[in-house]
Amino acid sequence: MDAPRPRSLDAAVVAFAARLRAEGLEPPAGHALVALRALEAVDVADREETRLALRAVFPSRPEELPIFDRAFDRFWAARPPRMPAVNEVPLPPDRRDPPVARTDGARAEPRVLAGLAPLAETLREWAEGEAAEDDDARLDTAALSDIEVVAEKDFSTFTPDELPAIRRLTRRLARRLAGRLGRRRVAGRRGAVDLRRTLRRNLGKGEVIELAYRRRAPRPPRLVVLCDVSGSMDLYSRFLVQFLHALAGAFAGLEVFTFSTRLTRVTPCLRARSFAQSLAALATVTDWSGGTRIGECIDRFVREWGRRHLGRRTVVIILSDGWDTGDPDLLAGALSAIRRRGSRLVWLNPLLGQPDYAPETRGMAAALPLVHAFLPAHNLASLARLERALRI
């Protein structure tokens, strides 16, 4: 610890950090320094100890651990455990070495998007661009005028060059919604006396004259989203899934299911940090672009998940255009069952954004009398207006 570090160790650690970055980890720039300090605190002659020390520094989520281990083995395998002579220059990361298969969308994605000719292209760009643009600092770079234009535009009419803007906006919107829903206390006219504000307000008056109140904001609701991913929803569902991914990242009380001909719980898939990873995970469980059996799927939800998720604090959101080949009575029965549990029922229909749309399909007609709110979900502005409908 006293002797100056061999310079080659510095260089090796910096090169290793670069290698990790190439393999998909995201160690921030300063972390090589932290790693060097960590190595000073362990026995670098002991490879396992070196590994464990760097393992505490570079990865920061469990999915990254296998990637780290592989990279470590490969990077340090070629080196003697004891650090080499002072003037040895570390090898640059081997370019011929194919990067380790990342768990994100790069591979699984084509399957997700197969058969969606023009849209697929734009969505692929979207998913791939995600990794590069994960930094929230860039949120503010979108010009205000862009935001307004993008927010009012129907999801089905987006062009590829508008995708980055919508991606940023979607994420920001979801965060804001989550923040609003999570708020705990608000100033009010009645309720408990807010001692903190009361005292502040009356300082200097000598005694307490004017009381400030606060009331408890309603506890945040639990949200259950049932998202239609059948063929007729293709133009919308992928945007909505993006929205749900961002919402899942910011709001704890969210459960998401997808349905087309079968019901799938996808909450765990949406927990992945990047949208590309989520999309890849979704591809393996969800049958995109199939037919629809809304009634059957919602009935299944009630029977299998109802006990756990339905209650008076729950808002059930159904995202669907209501095109159904199934039995409308089954749908009505399932929706009634949700209502009986005291949950609020919100139906979001992207088609409602079209001026000439009337909810006349059999499924929609059966559902309408049973839902508490029937709202459009065809653009960002409509998603932004959701908050009120979601408050219990």
Partner 1 sequence: MRPEIRKIRDAMEAAHYVTDAPVATAVHLAVTLGRPLLIEGHAGVGKTEVAKVLAAVQQTNLIRLQCYEGLDAAQALYEWNYPKQLLRIKLEEGDGRPVEAREATIFSEPFLLKRPLLQAIAQPGPPPVLLIDEIDRADEAFEAFLLEILSDFQVTIPEVGTIRAARPPHVVLTSNRTRELTDALRRRCLYLWIDFPALDKEVRIIRARLPGVNERLAVEIGRVMQRLRRERLAKLPGVAETLDWAAALAALHADHLDADLVTETLGCVLKDADDVRKVERLLATGGVAALVGTDGDGRP
Binding region for partner 1 (CB under 8 A) = 26, 28, 31, 34, 37-38, 41-43, 46, 48-49, 52-53, 55-57, 59-62, 65, 175, 178-179, 182, 184, 195-196, 198-199, 203-204, 206-208, 220, 249-250, 252, 271, 273, 308
Torsion, CA 324, CA 329, CA 330, CA 332, rounded to 10: 90
Which lies closer to partner 1 via its Cβ, residue 169 or residue 246?
Answer: 246
Q: Phi/psi at 226 (nearest 5 deg)?
A: -110, 110
CB of 42 to partner 1, least distance (A): 6
CA 200 to CA 5: how far, in whole Å? 56
CB of 192 to partner 1, least distance (A): 12
Q: Residue 224: CB partners within 8 Å, gap ≥ 6?
A: 254, 255, 256, 257, 305, 309, 310, 314, 315, 316, 317, 343
CA 136 to CA 145: how far, in whole Å? 19
CA 67 to CA 58: how far, in whole Å? 11
Which lies closer to partner 1 via its Cβ, residue 274 or residue 289?
Answer: 274
CB of 248 to partner 1, least distance (A): 9
Which lies closer to partner 1 via its Cβ, residue 56 or residue 101?
Answer: 56
Which lies closer to partner 1 via its Cβ, residue 149 or residue 252?
Answer: 252
Q: Residue 368: CB partners within 8 Å, gap ≥ 6?
A: 347, 359, 374
Query: What does each C-alpha distance from 306 to 260, 311, 343 come to in angstroms?
Result: 19, 8, 10
Which lies closer to partner 1 via its Cβ, residue 207 or residue 360?
Answer: 207
CB of 188 to partner 1, least distance (A): 16
Q: Is the dihedral of CA 136, 140, 142, 144 positive or negative?
A: positive
CB of 352 to partner 1, least distance (A): 31
CB of 207 to partner 1, least distance (A): 7
Which lies closer to partner 1 via its Cβ, residue 40 or residue 152?
Answer: 40
DSSP line for 286-313 = --TT----HHHHHHHHHHHHHHHH-STT
Which lies closer to partner 1 via its Cβ, residue 142 or residue 250?
Answer: 250
CA 346 to CA 316: how far, in whole Å? 6
CB of 136 to partner 1, least distance (A): 9
